[in-house]
Amino acid sequence: MNVRELMQVAPVIPVLVIDDIAAAKPLAEALVKGGLRVLEITLRTPVALDAIKAMTEIDGAIVGVGTALDGDDLKRAQDHGAEFAVSPGFTAELGKAAQDLSMPLLPGVATSADIMRARDGGCTEVKFFPAAQSGGPTMLKALGGPFTETKFCPTGGINATSAKDYLALSNVLCVGGSWVAPRSMVEAGDWDGITKLASECLTLK
């Protein structure tokens, strides 16, 4: 799948921070069962790469790496089975590394200049980050004027309530969020509860 196709699988891409490798598979199973197949695993913990590898074994899961900062992050994640990458920003070097690896990249942007740099690198699908702090739906609606071809996945400070405001915009294909897998529910092993939260996301758009 290319980036746009990935963004159209479901209205929400769960942004996951995995602390315990034992939770990786059941978490992926719970989310996929609820209808959220595209999963972003952030490179913020020592077990992140192993979690990516474990989650790729779950039928139906499309697993990618988040918080990718450079080509080395992309390569290591790809070697562990990641099918796409999400980054907090964009650089020409990161864009080239993604192209060299044939790895779909969803780079982060916060300003018009960021969007233009990403477009120069061939990216017309971007992550608007941090969304809530960067102007929210109002800013995204304004950006839709000059950037008619750009499609967004706002991420950062989004919950089930605010997600609807973003998804109502024509230039937003999906949102990224962590509310579908709260740390407390993951630690408690409440997989049925997470499946319920995931399934509720399908009604947001």
Which active-site residues does the annotation give? 40, 127
- Residue with the two structure tokens 């796409």: 84
| Torsion, CA 67, CA 69, CA 75, CA 79, rounded to 10 | -20
Q: If you ran DSSP here, which 8-state letter would residue 173 be given?
A: -
Nearest of 69, 86, 104 to residue 15 by alpha carbon: 86
Q: Return the closest-CA partner of residue 39 out of 68, 62, 9.
A: 62
DSSP type of residue 152 = E
Q: How far apart are CA 54 and CA 40, in angstroms?
A: 13
Task: Judge contact between 124 and 146, C-beta under 8 A.
Answer: no
Residue type, 106: L
Q: Which helix (H) or strand (E) holds 70?
A: none
